[in-house]
Amino acid sequence: MPEPLKPLDPNVAQDLGRLLLDLSHDKKTRKALGKLVKEAKPDSPHAAAFADVEIEDKFEAFERKQEEAKIQTQRDAILARMNTQRSSLITGGADGAGRKYSEDDVKKIEALMEKKGITDYDDGAAIYAATLPPEHSKPSIDPPTHGSTWEFPEWATFGPDPVKASRNIAHQVISEFQQRKRA
């Protein structure tokens, strides 16, 4: 059984009443005070005066659930898009005509995406492809050989426009000389 309360000085009681009234009308403290009153005296008329705090709590909980559902929907959409893009990298796209990557390459792409903060597999694949060394790191020094003797081109090439055809052949020969000179 709790001890009986000592009588309060009327001035102190008035000050405490004023403090409680101020706290109950302050937006920063009303919620906490309402919870304390409901916990201490749940069936009192004072607790009923804080019914708006309970409604506000329910509304905030509803808003949180709605926001979480929205975030989950967005997360699911992003994951579905990423899974589609990932499978496109392995299969070469919807028609299969695009570049195909092995599972190991896709894992390397994913590591690069994570490192760069990228969520788009197409962008990750483009960056990954740019970082790969070229297939033939050193081009052949010797130009392809066409034979030891020069043969007169086909008459069908020169017949319709001999000036154009001879210029094309001259440019081709000059290009071959320049390639040999670079080597």
* Rounded Cα–Cα distance for residues 10 and 19 (Å): 14
Q: Percent of the chain beyond pLDDT 70? A: 86
Q: What is the pTM of this model?
A: 0.47
* Rounded Cα–Cα distance for residues 119 and 100 (Å): 19
What sign does the CA torsion over 153, 157, 158, 163 have? negative
**Counting Cβ atoms within 10 Å, is residue 89 exposed (0-12), middle (13-18) or buried (19+)?**
buried
What are the residue ranges spanned by the domains of the chain?
64-131, 153-183
pLDDT single digits (tens) 39-55: 888 888 888 888 888 88
pLDDT single digits (tens) 115-144: 999 889 889 988 888 888 766 666 666 666
Task: State whether residue 42 is helix, strand or coil.
Answer: coil
SS3 content of the chain, % helix, strand, coil (to 5): 65, 0, 35
> Residue 125 in contact with residue 109, Cβ under 8 Å?
yes
Give every residue of the chain whose pLDDT is below 70, as ranges.
Answer: 1-2, 134-156, 183
> Residue 116 in contact with residue 127, Cβ under 8 Å?
yes
First-to-final CA distance of the chain:
106
* Rounded Cα–Cα distance for residues 82 and 106 (Å): 12
Q: Which residues contact 25 (CB under 8 A, 6 or more apart)?
A: none
